[in-house]
Chain A
């Protein structure tokens, strides 16, 4: 049983935050008895940043003696002790509690000590406790609303909680202190997440001007270089740091790679981080989570176990390890291009449907794009939404139904949600489309494009699929809330109103639909090739379509007017996803569609089996009878007999025989099944 430590958090960047105001100048500052603890702390931090970790930890260790000396300590001294002991927590997680104690005592000694509250906030945030971090930063801001450290901390917290307002809060920090390295570094990261490279570069340069050797400034600069594709610059920046600082930079780049959906690169960078500091538990965490995303469960488990041993506060690592335990109990079924992994209680029900739809999607997408992603495509179906959520940890702005890491797909099984809550068939098609687009572009395709294209592919697959976002889109259009193309990524990762993510998915799909209509069928594949070559959206629009994002926006406004008024489309969308109406309609087509919403109704399967049998669709009848057996009805003997009969009528005597024996195994006197067995053994038709 893994026990998670909860309660406090600490960021590696805290060392940099303190160091940014110290650096070399502070080291040279004359030490006085009054500030000897602060001076010793800065000496330790400089050693830590420079990679002289033994020296640094020896100095950190002395702070415990200072605390235990029994003399009355000032608030400043207690803060210094708190920060020092926090670093010791990297080697002994129990010491984080001591750090918390020291900082609490600092606030008690001086209730108006802003620095103590900021350090408390940082400690809580690094140990994943958003609620207490918010309280600490808010307390600091009540004392001084212009405390740039607290404002930056609050921006980090809002980002951690995936709430709006993070960028604005960081800007307030810069209003208070235009040279604040932490705020500039945060904004660099924020703008890179939304592909606003120029804005990111401005803030990275500002961070460097503030303190060129601080870890935060180096992370900002390296991140911009990575997004620009300048590997030499990335290496050069990494070469300027040592030990934990170098590990922090490489880990930050690994996390950025995840946002860029470059999971293999993330794994490489996490490994680089660990060569600089094998006790970087965050690096182990990033390594493990991304090994899991790439389908290497064994390696992932080793990395995550290591991370958890060093940092038992990390709830995502714990959840990922628990998820691995869960996946170990799942079973696998295969089809020509897929590995289907699901809970044993429903894998035999879902696998035939996944196979039928997945193989159809694979064939059509391969034909359209002239490309096949690496196979087998691994599809994990989670019967608990909480398990699926763990798979998407750290990935902001995703729809909460499925995820693609390339050729590894994960999604909610239909049993994870109430019947009719989502269409798992269209979700499967959507995620498989991502596998194609990510693979074709080596994961360089921007968020808006790949999501929009995946929704468009859903619409091509079945009438009414891919239209769930239409009502939200119509409302947003009428309220003039649609984003220009240049800012569309924001709608996914930094939504400013509740439905903006759904609106952005749909809007992106309409933009691509419009592009295809106006520029022809070759336009989208051409754009994908442009992204594969490393071009950004402006360059792709210019080189492939000979247009600009402003022109696209103008054309889109006209296109939207027709879509907003398309009531028939809205009705079709509603009909395609109304499970009860589809079942009630009772045709083969409507029942088939209903199965991709919820496949758990035995009576519906029986009706569809009969319809298929009457229509001569013998393979379809077999699939439906298999589904009934997989649902384990009360009368299993009858279900297996019917399946045996369907196999027999489909010309598959071997499976017919196997199933009728299974029917008779628990009902040896079952007359109809006996006759079928005799017919099979007598060679009857």
Chain B
């Protein structure tokens, strides 16, 4: 017990040394992917494919502990299992950790109540929202990749919580393609617009939204879904774990990197208030310094 406490203190000590963006992951990321009732083999295959892609990316790329519940898994994605999984998430995470919940399947909004179709009684948006209360102080993001998912926005919205839905309201009740593009955004570099090696939910959302629109345009179909995002998706970042994060030399480089990133952000904020030539010259100096530090980090990461 004493060792456990000491171990925990030690981990905490290491955590304090890290700061915000560009550093090794200070917080943990956990994910829960829930795939509902498919209704036909074609959609079952599609859901399975999308879920598998997301799971693989979350685990292999971002080191996120991921739980998957489907209509075919054991336990399956019924209400009891979902509630249990959410409770486990609450117990195994702490303040500041990231929790990603993704729903892939069919939704409905009949009678004004948003529901997600699962084996057995459907789970309502209100029930889901209530169970998320236990994840207070975590950085929670819920992605509802289903028809009529727009009806989930209001019940799920909360301060500090990100909600992404495949449709903008419950009336968009046709089958959606959002999940496939969201899965690709997690598994590929395509969504990493700022090239920082991480994928924020804002980037994943923008990529998915654009690709969904392109799908309907290229297939000459009327778009029956348009995604919505609420909350600070930019603050939810999926980042690959860094094996050298505990190395003090690397930690110093991370700190230097973070400091330079902050200086660059501050300099950019002054862009309109200084002559263009001066802005660019000073920016270039800062970028060169950052590039030098990042080169050193990459070199350190490549050392055995």
Q: Which residues of A pack against B, CB within 8 Å?
A: 634-638, 657-658, 661, 664-671, 673-675, 677-678, 681
- Looking at B28-36, B155-163, B193-201, the stretch in contact with chain A turns out to be B193-201
Establish whether residues B22 and A634, one from each chain, have CB atoms under 8 Å apart when the complex forms.
no
A664 contact set on B, CB distance < 8 A: 287, 291
Instruction: Pick the residue among B194, B210, B288, B295 that contacts A637 (CB under 8 A).
Output: B194
Do B298 and A671 touch (CB < 8 A)? yes
Flag whether B101 is at the interface (Cβ < 8 A): no
Contact partner of A678 (CB less than 8 A), chosen from B280, B283, B292, is: B292
Residues B283 and A661 in contact, CB atoms below 8 Å apart: yes
Cβ contact within 8 Å between A671 and B287: no
- Tell yes or no: B206 within 8 A of A by CB: yes
B291 near A637: Cβ-Cβ < 8 Å: no
Separation of A313 and B294 alpha carbons in the complex (Å): 67
Nearest 7 interchain pairs by C-beta: A670-B195, A674-B291, A669-B196, A667-B195, A667-B194, A664-B287, A661-B284
B44 on the A face (CB < 8 A): no
B261 CB–A CB distance under 8 Å? yes
Q: Which residues of A contact B90 (CB under 8 A)?
A: none
List of A residues within 8 angstroms of B283 by Cβ: 661, 665
| Cβ contact of A674, chosen from B22, B190, B261, B294, cutoff 8 A | B294
Smallest CB gap from A657: residue in B: B284
> What is the distance, in angstroms, from A656's C-beta to the closest C-beta of chain B?
12
Cross-chain contact B291 with A677 (CB below 8 angstroms) = yes
Let me know if B194 and A666 touch, CB within 8 A.
yes
* Minimal beta-carbon separation of B275 from chain A (angstroms): 15
Contacts of A678 in B (CB 8 A): 288, 291-292, 295
Docked Cα-Cα span, A79 to B294, in Å, equals: 89
Check if A637 sits within 8 Å of B292, measured CB to CB.
no
A661 touches B280 (CB 8 A): yes
Most-contacted residue by chain B among A658, A670, A678 (CB, 10 A):
A670
The answer, among B190, B194, B288, for a CB contact under 8 Å with A669, is B194
CB distance from A631 to the nearest CB of B (A): 14
| 0 or 1 for each of B277-304: is its CB under 8 Å from A? (1 = yes) | 0001001100110111011001000000
User: Contact check: which of B195, B207, B210 meets A671 at CB < 8 Å?
Assistant: B195
Chain B residues with CB below 8 A from A671, complex form: 195, 197, 294, 298
CB-CB contacts below 8 Å: B185-215 with A:
190, 193-197, 206-207, 210
A681 close to B207 (CB less than 8 A): no
The interface residues of chain A lying within 8 Å CB-to-CB of B260 are 668
19 pairs from A and B in contact (CB 8 Å cutoff): A634-B206, A636-B193, A661-B280, A664-B291, A665-B268, A665-B283, A665-B287, A667-B194, A667-B195, A668-B261, A668-B287, A670-B195, A671-B195, A671-B294, A677-B284, A677-B287, A677-B288, A677-B291, A678-B288
Q: Let me know if B196 and A637 touch, CB within 8 A.
A: no
Cα of A637 to Cα of B22 in the assembled complex, Å: 18
Roughly how many angstroms separate A239 CA and B284 CA in the complex, as a whole number? 71
* A661, B268: Cα distance in complex, Å: 12
Q: List the A side residues contacting B240 at CB < 8 Å.
A: none
Name which residue of chain A comes closest to B280, CB basis.
A661
**B196 contacts A667, CB within 8 Å?**
yes
In the complex, chain A residues whose CB is within 8 Å of the CB of B197: 669, 671
Does B255 sit within 8 A of A, measured CB to CB? no
> Could you tell me if B210 and A668 are in contact, using CB atoms closer than 8 angstroms?
no
Give 7 A-B pairs besides A657-B284, A670-B196 with Cβ atoms closer than 8 angstroms: A635-B193, A638-B195, A664-B291, A668-B264, A669-B261, A669-B294, A673-B195
With known contacts A634-B210, A671-B294, A674-B295, A661–B193 Cβ distance under 8 A: no
Closest residue of B by beta carbon distance from A638 = B195
Distance of A666 Cα from B291 Cα, bound (Å): 14
* Least distance between B203 CB and chain A CB atoms (Å): 10
Known contacts A675-B295, A678-B292, A678-B295; A661/B287 CB under 8 A: yes
Known: A665-B283, A668-B264. A674 touches B290 (CB 8 A): yes
- The answer for the CA separation of A678 and B292 in the assembled complex, in Å, is 7
Q: What CA separation (Å) do A369 and B292 show in the bound complex?
A: 58
**What residues on A are CB-neighbors of B287 within 8 Å?**
661, 664-665, 668, 674, 677
Closest to A635 in B: B193
Q: How far is the CB of A677 from chain B (nearest CB, A)?
A: 5
Which chain A residues border B298 with CB–CB below 8 Å? 671
Residue among B22, B207, B283 facing the most chain A CB atoms (10 A cut-off): B283
CB distance from A421 to the nearest CB of B (A): 19
Which residues on A sit within 8 Å (CB–CB) of B295? 674-675, 678
A670 to B287 CA separation, bound complex (whole angstroms)? 10
Residue in chain A with minimal CB distance to B291: A674
Contact partners of B268 in chain A: CB under 8 A: 665
B264 CB contacts on chain A under 8 angstroms:
668
> What chain B residues lie within 8 Å of A669 (beta carbons)?
22, 194-197, 261, 290, 294
Closest to B265 in A: A668
Neighbouring B residues of A658 by C-beta, 8 Å: 280
Residue in B193, B280, B288, B292 whose beta carbon sits within 8 Å of that of A634 in the complex: B193
Contacts of A638 in B (CB 8 A): 195
Instruction: Given the known inter-chain contacts A669-B22, A671-B294, A678-B291, please indicate yes or no for A637 contacting B284, CB distance below 8 A.
Output: no
Which chain B residues border A634 with CB–CB below 8 Å? 193, 206-207, 210
- A664→B286 CA distance, assembly (Å): 11
Which residue from chain A places its CB closest to the CB of B264 in the assembled complex?
A: A668
CB neighbours of A681 from chain B (8 A): 288
Which residues on B sit within 8 Å (CB–CB) of A673? 195
What are the residues of chain B within 8 A of A666 when measuring CB–CB?
A: 194
Contact partners of B288 in chain A: CB under 8 A: 677-678, 681
| Chain B positions 164-189 with a Cβ under 8 Å from a chain A Cβ | none
CB distance from B215 to the nearest CB of A (A): 15
Of all chain A residues, which has the CB nearest B207? Answer: A634
Question: Please, which residues of chain A bring their CB within 8 A of the CB of B290?
Answer: 668-669, 674
Most buried by B among A657, A669, A670: A669
Bound CA–CA A677/B268 (angstroms): 18
Report if A675-B193 is in contact (Cβ < 8 Å); known contacts: A657-B284, A661-B280, A661-B283.
no
User: Please, how many angstroms separate the alpha-carbon atoms of A226 and B284 in the complex?
Assistant: 65
Q: Which of B195, B197, B206, B260 has the most CB of A within 10 A?
A: B195
Specify which of A637, A665, A668, A674 is in contact with B193 (CB 8 Å cutoff). Answer: A637
